[in-house]
Chains A and B, each alone.
Chain A
Amino acid sequence: MATKEEQQAYAKKIKPIQPKPPYVLNCVKAFLVGGLICLIGQAIQKFYMTYFNFSEETAGNPTVATLILIAALLTGLGVYDKIGQFAGAGSVVPVTGFSNAVTSAALEHKSEGLVLGVATNLFKLAGAVIVFGAVAAYIFGMIRYIFQHVI
């Protein structure tokens, strides 16, 4: 087993050979694709407000549902992972990324059956988002309560 010094020396030695991640380019790509997804969301919201009887507030839910559906379909068609490779965080962070995480896990585990395959593994990747979403909502709910009622 290599010592810590040997490991550090090796890491230093190979650094010039390893390709550096293009951080700036990745940020630009993520910004553009993430922005584009939000723009599409905005257009969908406008559509529901113009052609259906939704207010700006109530149009949110069907808009999110539509985005989730589109992302799920793109995942099933094998397109979303290619978008993800290009956009990085730009397509992971929006709700479409959540949809992709759930759908891709479902597709992956289809071969093991509906209950132990799909249902058990559905939130394999997205589960962490739900856990920390719930924890964060609880903490911020408490903070808000304290500010409004106690202080």
Chain B
Amino acid sequence: MNLLGRQTWKFQNNVYLNAAGTAVGPMESEGPLGSYFDKTYNSLHCGQKNWELAERQLMEDAIDACLQKAKMQPEDINFLLAGDLLNQIVSANYTARGNGIPFLGVFGACSTSMESLALGAALVDGGYANRVIAAVSSHNATAERQFRYPTEYGGQKPDTATFTVTGAGAALVSKEISDIKITSATVGKVVDLGIKDPFDMGSAMAPAAADTIAAHFKEMNVQPEEYDLIATGDLSGVGAPIMKMLLKEQGYDVSDNHRDCGLMIYRPDQQVFAGGSGCACSAVVTYGYILDEIRKGNLKKVLMVATGALLNPVMVQQKETIPTVAHGVVLERAEGGQ
């Protein structure tokens, strides 16, 4: 049975993550994980004339890097599953226009990284695709414009705010044997506990992350200790402790093996408020750093949970609260390709 419980997929036919590519902006390349990224830019413009083009460039670079590592051409890929944070997921649409890979657009805000990876793995496992690329991007300046104020506007942000990661990540999924296996995925439900503040998305997303992680443990019938690392996407310094508290209430202690990508990608002295956010936050940390650690053997089994605040500025102005969702994917080291 491929479905465990209500919302967890257990992939029956060996599905592998063959290669991944990452591209990041200046702040991320100066961060502690800077050396793990394939392509780095020292300007937010990434050599383009506006922010939207810069974000598209990042996504194209990430996919190019991924294809290059897999020694493949766009023609070798069946489907591109991609998304980003902008209206109508424009970065993904225009990237797909460029490379000509049959395209399925996905949106789950910052959870899109694992949403696209889980869907890609399901397509491959079910025999509906041989090779799928899952890709996401986010850009600090395009996100500011989309969700907040103009980039140069001098409004003060509170310490609970997060800083959108500029970058993109892409991963190739297929049945061709490699050293990283995608073994299961848990699809999250939309959770909303009434947070209205768009400058406090950590508090808004923590219950969604806790809900998905608890559902994963229950349906897989495992304990947190089973995982070397349980990583969340962008809960930041505010959301991460809340999530741990919520899980503890349900009897799961993840304090020893949990890390948040939003806190991993920047140094503490970088001016990023509570931490990093955006689809690229979980994507570049997973596809850059975490995969590398699995390959080296430092990590054997990782539950990666990408968290998304399904924020819409119009809805927030209409006094609606912020719905959130989290999707988890399990990545395992495949010893000798098994």
Contacts and interface: CB of A to CB of B under 8 A. Distances in A.
A111 interface: yes
Contacts of A88: 156
B245 interface: yes
B253 interface: no
B193 A80 contact: no
Contact of A104 (B49, B154, B200, B207): B154
Contact of B152 (A14, A81, A124): A81
B153 A81 contact: yes
A17 interface: yes
Interface stretch (A1-9, A42-50, A60-68, A132-140): A1-9
Helix, strand, loop or mixed for chain B's interface? loop
Interface stretch (B143-151, B275-283, B291-299): B143-151
Contact of A80 (B154, B200, B207, B241): B154
Contacts of B160: 18-19
A41 interface: no
A100 B191 CA distance: 37
B159 A21 contact: yes
B194 interface: yes
B151 A104 contact: yes
Interface in A79-94: 80-85, 87-89, 91-92
Contacts of A107: 150-152
Interface string B52-71: 10000000000000000000
What is the interface of chain A mostly: helix, strand, loop, or mixed? helix
Nearest to A101: B153
Say which size band chain B's interface belongs to: 20 to 34
A18 B160 CA distance: 7
Interface string A95-133: 001001101110111110000000000001100000000
A116 B151 CA distance: 19
B319 interface: no
A76 B154 CA distance: 12
A83 B152 contact: no
B140 to A, nearest CB: 12
Report which residue of B150, B154, B155, B158 has the largest number of chain A beta carbons within 10 angstroms of its beta carbon.
B154
B159 A84 contact: no
A85 B207 contact: no
B193 A2 contact: yes
Which residue, A10, A13, A88, A107, has most C-beta atoms of chain B within 10 A? A10
B157 A85 contact: yes
B171 to A, nearest CB: 30
Contacts of A125: 149-150, 153
B156 A85 contact: yes
A1 to B, nearest CB: 7
B238 interface: yes
A84 B242 contact: no
Interface of B: 49-52, 145, 149-160, 191-195, 200, 203, 206-207, 237-238, 241-242, 245, 274, 321
Interface of A: 1-2, 4, 6-8, 10-11, 13-14, 17-19, 21, 26, 75-76, 78, 80-85, 87-89, 91-92, 97, 100-101, 103-105, 107-111, 124-125
What 10 pairs across the A-B complex have the smallest Cβ distances?
A84-B154, A7-B194, A108-B150, A111-B50, A88-B156, A104-B152, A104-B150, A10-B193, A104-B153, A19-B159
